[in-house]
Structures are given as structure tokens and as C-alpha cells.
Amino acid sequence: MPDVLGPLLNLVRLPNGAGLDLPAYETAGAAGMDIRAAVEADAPLTLAPGKRALVPTGFIFEIPQGFEMQVRPRSGLAFKHGITCLNTPGTIDSDYRGEVKVLLVNLGDEDFIVTRGMRIAQLVVAPVTQVQVAEVSEAGTTARGAGGFGSTGI
Ligand SMILES: O=c1ccn([C@H]2C[C@H](O)[C@@H](COP(=O)(O)OP(=O)(O)OP(=O)(O)O)O2)c(=O)[nH]1
């Protein structure tokens, strides 16, 4: 794994994560750490076309306050097999202390088998800002106004 100088991310390995590689950046400039499936070795998961499944990862993450973790698909799985994350990008809140799971869906036309240790998604840690919400009577005017959805042309 390349050296990383970012914030510290504590994680806890659950019993079903025994022996799995830690999530890791595969290259020095990777945005996401690949995360692996913690399905039982003797019970791989078959995802039929059109079906979805919540796949365990075997880890609890302690995300630093002020950050979130996004669960994103891997383009190779999407391109080759039609496998993606249904709720992409999945949001892991910094106060979540449950096992991170990956909601995979098979948009391909063949069964896809998820085996133990397979790299099923990538985790991107990103800063987030919580705003203070204030209700006002009118929104400030802008040149765009309410124009959207192609208002500036194709
Ligand atoms: O792909 C995902 C998405 C979410 N989660 C976990 C972590 C997250 O902090 C929690 C809640 O996610 P989210 O806020 O998207 O779900 P919700 O439908 O709003 O549920 P809740 O009412 O529990 O917040 O579920 C995952 O493990 N994987």
C-alpha cells in the first residue's frame, strides 16, 4: 500500500472480516480504497440479473468528524458485469458504528457470483460541511433565476 499522509481512519474488524485484507488504496493517487466482500468462503453470493443484495464488508469504521465516507462502484465490475452500487454514492455517516455494507445490484444479463475477499466497491473519504438552516421569505435574485434543466441550451 502506498504511504498516505491524510487523517487517521480507525476501523474495527468484525468476526466475519477475519483474514480479509484491510481496505487499501491500490495506487499512490487512488481516490478510493477498495473494500472486499465478507461473504462466507463456502457460501458465495449469487446475484441474478436485476437482483440486489446487501453485502457485508467485515469492518466498522470510525470516520473522523467533519468527514463522510462514500461507497462507490468499481468501474471494472460495472463495465464487464453490469455490477454497481444501487444507492451510489452510498453515504457512511461519521457517527455510524455499524458494519459497512455494500448494496450491489446486477444490471447485467448473467448471474454474478460474489466470493469472499472480492473487491466489490471503493470507499472515498471526503470532507463534509453541515450548514445552519434558516428559513427566509424570499431567495436572493440571480441572473439564472429559476432557469435550469437545459435552460442555457444543449
Ligand atoms: O451503502 C451504504 C449506505 C449506508 N450504510 C450505513 C452507514 C450509514 O451511516 C447508514 C445510514 O445510511 P443512510 O443515511 O443512507 O440511510 P437512511 O436510509 O437515511 O437510513 P437511516 O435512517 O438509518 O439514516 O447506513 C452502509 O453501510 N452502506
The predicted-structure confidence for 27-84, as pLDDT tens digits, reads as follows: 999 999 999 999 999 999 999 999 999 999 999 999 999 999 999 999 999 999 999 9
Distance, CA of 32 to CA of 122 (rounded, Å): 5
Tell whether ipTM is more than 0.85: yes
Q: Is 74 annotated as a binding residue?
A: yes
Closest protein CA for atom 19 of ligand 1:
91
Are 109 and 49 a contacting pair, CB within 8 Å? yes
Task: State residue 125 phi and psi, 5-degree precision.
Answer: -95, 130
Its pTM stands at: 0.94
Task: Out of 62, 92, 102, give the residue to mutate to test ligand 1, the one with the largest number of ligand atoms within 8 Å of its CB.
Answer: 92
Contacts of 57 (CB under 8 A, 6+ apart): 17, 23, 35, 36, 37, 38, 99, 100, 101, 102
Per-residue model confidence as pLDDT tens digits over 81-97: 999 999 999 999 999 99
Are 45 and 53 a contacting pair, CB within 8 Å? yes
Residue 18 alpha carbon to ligand 1 centre in Å? 24
Residue 90 alpha carbon to ligand 1 centre in Å? 7
Q: Quick one: CA dihedral 128, 36, 111, 79, positive or negative?
A: positive
Q: Is 36 exposed, middle or buried (0-12, 13-18, 19+ CB in 10 A)?
A: buried
Mean pLDDT of 130-149: 97
